[in-house]
Amino acid sequence: MSFAMPSLRVYRATDDLAREIVARFVRTGLVLFGAAIVIAGVLIAPLPGPGGIPVIVVGLMIVLRNSFKAKRQFVKFQRAHPKTVYPIRRLLRREPEVFPVFWQQTLRVERVVLPSRFRFAVKTRRRFRRRR
């Protein structure tokens, strides 16, 4: 007759507490790392090209996945300013639509900065559509 031996390892409350403390430190570290990436993206943003936006999105992804408070603030900001946050939300999806977001932002910036007769992106799109 064989008897099954119970496990010799006994979980203690201190093990669970230690895991929780380590998880909290890791989460806090990831939030700080994500915030540093966002700040780096903001500093890169004035340079020519779209270099800052993808960096900011990566930092936001890290922060939003690890901070409940940041998620709440992001949702509040989204409800208050949906047109501003919509491109960022599109880039935060699992399979982001990078080129369409880039094109849409180019058209928006062009509309704000240039008079209608100098808008090259709109004219380029119209020429491309005519050729198809």
Amino acid letter for position 52: G
Q: What are the extents of the domains in the chain?
A: 16-81, 97-132
Would you place residue 7 in the very low, low, confident or very high pLDDT band (cuts 50, 70, 90)? low
Q: What is the pLDDT of residues 10-52, one digit of tens each?
A: 556 577 788 888 889 999 999 999 999 999 988 988 887 777 7
DSSP symbol at 4:
P
Q: Across the chain, what does the average pLDDT equal?
A: 80
Q: What angle do CA 51, 70, 90 make, to 5 degrees?
A: 45
- Tell me the pTM: 0.61
Specify the higher pLDDT residue, 16 or 5: 16
CB 54 within 8 A of CB 71: no
Rounded to 5, what percent of the chain is helix, strand, coil? 75, 0, 25
User: How confident is the model at residue 3, as a pLDDT?
Assistant: 63
Would you place residue 80 in the very low, low, confident or very high pLDDT band (cuts 50, 70, 90)? very high
Would you place residue 132 in the very low, low, confident or very high pLDDT band (cuts 50, 70, 90)? low
User: How confident is the model at residue 16, as a pLDDT?
Assistant: 77
Name the residue among 83, 82, 80, 60 with its Cα closest to residue 70. Answer: 60
